Structure 1
């Protein structure tokens, strides 16, 4: 049995010969472990599952949601209203607290789901050789040293060091980001070889696409590469969003200010000889007035409306604050495979000795055509001989199949072979001769050949690496169907030109033979006729380039972070315009070699990061955040999950994304289109605008209500407005008026302005001045109205009713101004938000009811007022609206 010390010293086994791995793990490369050995190791190493993460219990996580300054303010508000006997209002406030607790609890619980999805990836069955006999066991029963057998279609159950691979290829895209299946062999590799380049290893959670293999389990459970990603997901911080950070600061300041004002009012009143009980009641009234009870509900509803709008644009939000976060994004770190690209290999160019052809369409659907240099659509039936033979070779020398599921075409087998089948469909190739024999592809051979029976004779088709196919050929097929001497130099030049564009190039060839006996590797050398080249890549999504440009217009930097090769990543980046404005390409190896002090400058100037590991993706996101950027990270694979969790907002792909990525993300794109992110950013900016408008609208009232109470205490006057009346104002106007701002349409040019500075305060100096101005107008207007009515002989109840209605009318007029913080309400259109008109109507009816309905008069201690009083109320409201309009025009640029 391997010692613990030795196992800890060996971080991986790719750099060891097979015989050393066998000795290290004390196993048999032919018979495997015995059952007693397996039982003993299972008791020592535990099951081959990812560990459950210890987390707080449900009750503690639920109570933890109360630990927030804004919730403290709400609790104080609820207690105050309950003390005042306003059970309905206190019930509403406590209801908001409960809703916030539940939402926060659900959000925190979802973080655990990402880890559960990772654990599910290794809950499979495995074929293992024990005591010399192959058997099937639950993958959880695998132990280090087990001899594991894999074949096409299997999910790898543990990290394996290959012993006997046979034409083995593995799809590792979910783990490494590599877009093509990786051919495996057992050759020893250098110790520093990156995970994505360890061709002698199979990693847990990856998928075998072709061939078979036998490997020794060298790591199980948490010790696998998948286990390392599990650890990274669990350790990545689930960061607060810019909105929640700013609201937390705002709530703390608000709490301190409210308590300070209440304490001052109480102390001043008692010092002047007033009754402590009356002063306490007045201090409570001040606190009730200053607390914006409607703010949490407004935030939740505004974000929920943003969620609904985004869902209509194919973006599903899993966490409410993520709506606003997108609007403040300064950098989008995007994966390549499946995010910027289709994640479907596509032949995009064909070259033959008779000419070059462009292939339109992307993905596995047969939408597209083969076009000549003159733009003529080519079909297999009417095509020149070299093109037809190239199409036929690609389709015949092929082990893949195309299937349809849920309306989507999918490839069973190697994606590159699937791309060749799609090309044949685009050219309407009728069919291929029946196959008789096969020389399979191998990493040593680097080509595949098939023998087919064709009208009484036999034809051989071959495809593979350009150099190997040319080595088998002595002739090439001319446009007229006549063979000519091979111009290998011309073929090589064209292949290099295509490869320089980031394309994967395969050559095809054919020949006719008299009998099956001529179909051997030795017999094929020098007998094949070269027909052409097929060049393919995983193409960019149709709208991705425009989306990248739009993000740049909006001041958002876009950086590609992928596990794919640098050449492939560079080719896609050029097609998308990521390298048009400068910015280089760095590989994971080059990143690892950077000193810490060099890292910030490197990520600033680099647009494409290729061949990076999950740890490096996470480090890049953390480095950008350390600079103060608000980072959105997109991805679809298991390898993206830690960075998705760490980012300010993780964006997962809905169609092609793994469940791990979806659970780690804050947002899921149901159409997998990078362009949808642009739409989501636009919606996010609109949401933040509307939240800001609500705050700018509601705070003046709360400040003015508190200051009016404070002024009355300081001068020893009766309170111009009672606590119950303050609650009426705060609760009804927030619902009927303020929440209507959540439905405000997005302003023109919203995607042409730079992202918000992450360090910028929630409210700018200009907006604070406006809030102070409106507060002063409310304080002065309500005090004047209260004193005027008393001086004119009105009762105390009538004077308070006049002050109450003045507060509401000024808020109502001010609401129209807040529909835009910089533009006139006439320029944005009076009827562009019909919700506001409905809310205004409802509020006016409420004011008439509280003023004239007897039961309301008894509840709120109001009294009827005359027409002349209403005219004075409306006059003050109109004057306040004009002053705000002048202020908006004079100070538009500083907001």
Structure 2
């Protein structure tokens, strides 16, 4: 049953579309109702959400939360689209005129070829739609909901009206929601309203006639949360959302063409026009020689059909589809097809550090307070571990180095640092299977674990001091703050802050001693300790707190600057991924530069960069901070970015500038990211790469590729697959073009000389139709070349075919023309009939294509140096093609349809001898000219 807006008890508008059509309706819309009335109407709970049984009932009643799939037409329409091709127009015209001239058999064969090509195109379109649906499922959006009072992550399509959805910065709104609570919530609604600036939200009840763009108490499906957090009740799902209405009005959208396919389309169109013009000239030349119009038209059709590489579009489609599938198997989901080609040209990868070069499994390793340093044992998110007086920093908290301590008894600053880090926190940890599962930011999860190891009673504190306000972490703010109200008898509130050391220090005027008292802040000592921790590869965050009277105001208007008390530093370790160093080395060998862009401290970033192999680039100016970037003059900025390898403490605007600078230097730049702040740079990059596991929906929407494992090694694999896709397309072009050119030239020479045609139009159609499917498309399955990642990236402006490859195409074409003419004349001279001579010529074309196919498996290495069964699809294609040629030559039905005749063993020996000679010539060309990619 299609999704619709729920109306349990009171008359509500039938749908967003209905509201637009009936603006004068007296029915109340959700933005015009108080929250409690919306809760009653939808029979839900604003705190606990729906129960499991009720969710199942509503899913049956209202369907899934999915937009209606775009209707691409039925079978007839899909089949009809296959005729929209210049080649098909030429073939249909040839079939009609051939029938008019009485050559009904030839006309029937031409129509059969058109039908076969149509069926092949139809099958490819159906398969492409199925593949697209499968890829969409890999990047399915999830939503956080409250059900039966428990927070859960569910697929967005499982949402039902009445669900209570929880949102935070970076989330994509999964359905139309009426807000029930929020904190500093801002939403990018440009996808819906066209307004570029994020909109601040509130819960005020609005007039019924308020337009969509002004409904501040509503969130709409498809929009993006850019700041803050909130919760809302689902009021419309699927096609009944505001986005669903837009979806219905959009109509059909043309598929995106890659730069490669656009070049090929122009190439094919230009070639078609040129060949038709040449065919017309040949037709007129034949008439001038006194030939019959019917014969000359047949010859002109043969020339036109033979010279057009009709298998090229199919090869492009299949090769790109195989490349996308291979990338998906290697955990890189391609969202936009053009990126498959662009990846092969990538010259620099700008990668985030956390989660891409590292495991994104944070563990607090060291703690520092104004009283000393501590170590912490245990790893991962499990609770096992202790806090020890550090052996690196002498005694701490009055304990001998290495002794276990209880923070609350020995160092009040340490206790409040642990408690503050856990209270100013949105993560959660729970046991799952043999281990522990963290939800939320890994850094916050690590601080929760550290608090547990230190004995901080976080739940007790939050029960007595519930959170009543927050300032969410943003890339601009670089800290998070929470406000906790105490019991009325104490009459005070507590503010906790955690974030980047430099930003937290700007808020602090004091530091806490071991007894819990305040003393003046020693800024230099704090920075020295932070640098020492960062130098060991640890990520360092600072914690601070402030106590105020209960009437001190809300968090948004409390002045924090200079009033906070520093409680300590927490330093955590995120180990580099095991495959990161090898992947970085592979990229560098391939001529692809790698740059690390992170919000972390520069010392931490440089340490991790060294661990993954980027230290080879370190030198003067190789690591730059955001502040240093701002100080670089505009004229020197691009050069500085080119030289540097590590960029730390950068802002969203600076990320965008970095990409612009690299592109201005001629780079094809790939950019990774996972947060809201990464979206502009992901859009600007030639290849935007989002993290699938930890990435926000904003980042995924902006990206071209989503990594399902967040691993840098997957980026290297995607670049490798992109190069292989382009290589295989090049191989197909180098293989197919000589045959098409030779077929056209054989006919042209015959017409100009007034000689008998060595090959007929129907025979040319047989060659092109069968070899493109059975032989050429098998190159799409060709495995990667051994030196694929050892050569430099392909220049963006480089033509599809190099001069050397063009010469090889002309060489093979000339061999085919000469061989076909010699064989045809030889067979006729030795007493064979014209049909037998033509059959020999047809088999020669196919035999040369088969031998040349093995040569084209590599454009630089000889065929005998390749693994013979490295591409089993190719072997299967050759067997199928051989069976077809035997049927063409020896079965009476095929003899009648294609004007062929059986040939003897001596003719086959000549055919294979010429094919072998052509292979040897190509091998010599490879050996002495070293022509490759």
- TM-score clears 0.5: yes
The whole-number CA distance in structure 2 between the counterparts of 1:331 and 1:451 is 53
The answer to whether residue 884 in structure 2 is matched with residue 860 in structure 1 is no
- Counterpart position of 1:383: 404
Number of aligned positions between the proteins: 735
Correspondence for 1:654 among 692, 698, 720: 692
Distance 2:743 2:385 in 1: 67
Q: Deviations over 1:229-262 (max 9, x none)?
A: xxxxxxxx99864423432443244234323431
1:324 is aligned to 2:341 = yes
Q: Provide the secondary structure at the position in 2 that maps to 1:328.
A: coil
Q: Distance in 2 between matches of 1:644 and 1:771?
A: 40
Mapped pair 1:271 → 2:288: yes
* Aligned residue runs from structure 1 range 217-296, under 5 A: 241-296=258-313
Pick from 770, 781, 786: which aligns with 2:824? 786
Give the distance between the partners of 2:387 and 2:839, measured in 1 at CA.
80
Question: Is the CA contact 2:671–2:681 (under 8 Å) kept in the aligned structure 1?
Answer: yes
Task: State the secondary structure of the residue aligned to 1:316.
Answer: strand
Partner of 1:847: 885
Q: CA deviation at 1:336?
A: 5.5
2: CA distance, partners of 1:474 / 1:755:
57
Matched, 1:548 2:595: no
Matched residues in 2 for 1:655 and 1:396: separation? Answer: 28
Does structure 2 conserve the Cα–Cα contact (< 8 Å) formed by 1:139 and 1:157? no
Q: Secondary structure at the match of 1:668?
A: strand
Name 1:403's counterpart in structure 2.
Answer: 429
Structure 1 residues 553-632: aligned runs within 5 Å: 553-560=589-596, 564=599, 567=602, 574=609, 577=614, 580=618, 583=622, 585=624, 587=626, 601=639, 604-605=642-643, 607=645, 608=647, 611-613=650-652, 621=659, 624-625=662-663, 628-632=666-670
- Is 1:85 aligned to residue 102 of structure 2? no
- Rounded to whole Å, the distance in 2 between the matches of 1:743 and 1:445 is 51
**Contact 1:506 1:534 (C-alpha < 8 Å) held by counterparts:** yes
2:915 to 877, 889, 894: 877
Trace 1:476-487 onto structure 2 (pairs within 5 A): none
Structure-2 residue corresponding to 1:301: 318
Listed as ranges, the matches of 1:707-786 within 5 Å are 707-786=745-824
SS, match of residue 672 in structure 1: coil
* Selected match of 1:497 from 506, 509, 531: 531
Q: Quick one: structure 1 residues 261 and 67, their matched pair in 2 at CA, closer, same or farther if it must change by over 3 Å?
A: farther
- The question of whether the paired residues in 2 share the 8 Å contact of 1:66 and 1:101 is answered with no
Runs of 5+ consecutive residues of structure 2 not aligned to the other structure: 1-30, 35-69, 99-106, 143-155, 165-173, 190-196, 199-222, 232-241, 243-253, 393-398, 472-478, 488-493, 499-503, 546-564
Cα deviation code 1:171-212 (max 9, x no counterpart): xxxx99xxxxxxxxxxxxxxxxxxxxxxxxxx972454699x
* Deviation of 1:475 (Å): 4.7
Farther-moved stretch of structure 1 (849-858 vs 328-337): 328-337
CA distance in structure 2 between the aligned counterparts of 1:396 and 1:584, rounded to whole angstroms: 34
Contact 1:645 1:665 in 2 (8 A): yes
> How far 1:674 moved relative to its partner?
2.5
1:886 aligned to 2:924?
yes
Question: Equivalent residue for 1:422?
Answer: 449
Query: In the alignment, which residue of structure 2 is the partner of 1:172?
Result: none
8 Å CA contact 1:77, 1:93 repeated in 2: no
C-alpha deviations, 1:734-789, integer Å up to 9, x for none? 12222222222111121111001111111111111111111111111111010001
Q: Secondary structure at the match of 2:789?
A: coil
> Paired residue for 1:684, among 712, 722, 728?
722
Alpha-carbon distance change, 493 to 685 in structure 1, aligned in 2, over 3 angstroms? closer
| Shift in Å, 1:586 | 6.7
Partner Cα distance (1:588, 1:77) in 2: 65
Distance change (3 Å), C-alpha of 1:556 and 1:823: same
Matched residue, 2:225: 205
Residue matched to 1:506: 542
Residue 821 of structure 1: SS of its match in structure 2? coil
Residue equivalent to 1:457: none
Aligned residue among 843, 848, 868 for 1:810: 848
Q: Tell whether the 8 Å contact from 1:324 to 1:687 is kept in structure 2 after alignment.
A: yes
Question: How far has the Cα of 1:859 moved from its partner?
Answer: 0.9
Name which of structure 1's ranges 651-660 and 350-359 shifts more when overlaid on structure 2: 350-359
1:652–1:667 contact (8 Å) kept in structure 2: yes
- Native 8 Å contact 2:804 2:931 kept in 1: no
Task: Tell me by how many angstroms 1:806 deviates.
Answer: 0.7
Q: Find 2:86's aligned residue among 53, 67, 72.
A: 72
User: Does the CA-based 8 Å contact 1:262-1:286 persist in structure 2?
Assistant: yes
Question: Aligned partners of 1:610, 1:777: CA distance in 2, in Å?
Answer: 62
Mapped to 1, the partners of 2:631 and 2:685 lie a distance apart of: 21
373 and 842 in structure 1: CA distance in 2 versus 1, 3 angstrom threshold: farther
Q: Deviations over 1:54-93 (max 9, x none)?
A: xx9999xx99999999943455456546763332211233
Shift of 1:845: 1.2
Spell out, residue by residue over 1:577-604, the C-alpha distance to the aligned partner (whole angstroms, 9 max, x if none): 3863755537499679965x66654654
Q: Which moved more, 1:682-691 or 1:428-437?
A: 428-437
CA distance in 2: counterparts of 1:34 and 1:882, whole angstroms:
81
1:126–1:139 contact (8 Å) kept in structure 2: no
Secondary structure of the residue aligned to 1:85 is helix
C-alpha displacement at 1:496, in angstroms?
A: 3.8
Matches of 2:726 and 2:568 in 1, distance apart?
56
Aligned counterparts of 2:762 and 2:256: Cα–Cα separation in 1: 39
Give how far 1:300 is off. 1.6
Within a 5 Å distance, the mapping from 1:121-132 to structure 2 comes to: none
**CA offset digits 1:401-448 (Å, max 9, x no partner):** 6234998966678875532222356x6979789548559899999899
Query: Secondary structure of the equivalent of 2:903?
Result: coil
1:706 is aligned to 744
Give, in whole Å, the separation in 2 of the partners of 1:598 and 1:650.
Answer: 26
Q: CA deviation at 1:720?
A: 0.6
SS where residue 429 of structure 2 aligns?
A: strand
Residue deviations 1:807-828, cap 9 Å, x none? Answer: 1111111111111111122222
In structure 2, the CA distance between the partners of 1:636 and 1:542, relative to structure 1 (3 Å rule), is: same
Shift of 1:289: 0.5
Quickly say closer, same or farther: Cα 1:271–1:601, change in 2 above 3 A.
farther
> 2:838 maps to what in 1?
800
1:621 Cα deviation after fit: 4.9
Q: How do 1:125-164 and structure 2 match up within 5 A?
A: 151=182, 156=186
TM-score, normalization by structure 2: 0.64
Relative to structure 1, the CA distance from residue 103 to residue 610 in structure 2 (aligned partners, 3 Å threshold; closer, same or farther) is farther
Are the counterparts in 1 of residues 181 and 230 from structure 2 also a CA contact under 8 Å? no
C-alpha deviation, 1:339, in angstroms: 4.7
Kindly tell me: are residues 107 and 620 of structure 1, through their superposed partners in 2, closer, same or farther at Cα, counting changes over 3 Å?
farther
**TM-score normalized by the length of structure 1:** 0.67
Comparing 489-498 with 103-112, greater Cα deviation is found at 103-112
Q: CA RMSD in A?
A: 6.0
